Amino acid sequence: MENMVNVYLFGKKYQVPAGLTIMTAMEYAGYDLVRGCGCRNGFCGACATIYRIKDKQELHACLACQTEVQEGMYIATLPFFPLVKQVYNIEKIKPTEQIMMQLYPEIYCCIGCNACTKACTQELNVMQYIAYAQRGEYEKCAEESFDCVMCGVCSSRCPAGISHPQVAMLARRLNGKYIAPECGHLADRVNEVNEGKFTSLIEDLMQKPIEELKELYNNREIEK
């Protein structure tokens, strides 16, 4: 076959068509993916992967669903990165600088190496949002980290052992709970859902074939 490339999956050599993502190349090679495959479009962060190219020493991190295979690519997927996830009750904490010191004190050990930003699979300015978190600027931290998919690749490269995605999640929760203005329209809709206003509509949608659902979605009325 033309346009084939040689890749090494977990140390074993395979020939796969060029242009495939790492994820589809693994399936082409016969792997049955039951974990770490999530949404397959680069938004769930489940398929964190490390690789290097033959005869080159640099180690790269990526998401397998959105990274194409290259000739001589040595690939290993990771089940997860062991992030520190502190337990807290969002109803009992407040958006103060002290709460970040209490829950994630390691952020103040940041040495400014920027390895987290360079490793980010979403090209976020990770070091910057950590700086916002250090200063208690949770609204800015929430905005800067909004597209984080919690893959944990940034934390894997951090010499200070910071769990960046969990820090960002805390900032977004604090911002949503205490800082961002309340959305009355959303609150009303949640109450309507809880009151069962949409139960029959949801049940009706669940019975429709997938093609009809796509048609309804693509032609839906979008609120301004």
Instruction: At 78, list the tokens.
Output: 């990771």
Amino acid letter for position 25: A
What pLDDT shows up at residue 179?
Answer: 95
**Could you tell me what percent of the chain has a pLDDT over 90?**
71
Q: Under 8 Å CB-to-CB from 117, ≥6 apart: which residues?
A: 124, 125, 126, 127, 128, 154
Is residue 74 predicted with pLDDT exceeding 60? yes
Global pTM reads 0.78
Is residue 141 predicted with pLDDT exceeding 90? yes
Domain boundaries, the chain: 4-77, 97-179, 184-218
CA angle 119-120-121, nearest 5°? 110
32 — pLDDT class (breaks 50, 70, 90): confident
Bigger pLDDT: 112 or 45?
112
CA–CA separation, 75 and 81 (whole Å): 16
Place of tokens 């295979």: 69
The fold for domain 4-77 equals Ubiquitin-like (UB roll) (3.10.20)
Is residue 214 predicted with pLDDT exceeding 80? yes
Strand order in the sheet with 4-9: 12-17, 4-9, 73-77, 48-53, 60-63
Is residue 184 predicted with pLDDT exceeding 70? yes
Helix ranges (DSSP H) in the chain: 22-28, 97-103, 115-119, 126-134, 138-144, 153-156, 164-174, 184-194, 199-206, 210-218
For 2-40, letters b (16+ CB in 10 Å) and e give: eeebebbbeeeebebeeebbbbbbbeeeeeeeeebbbeb
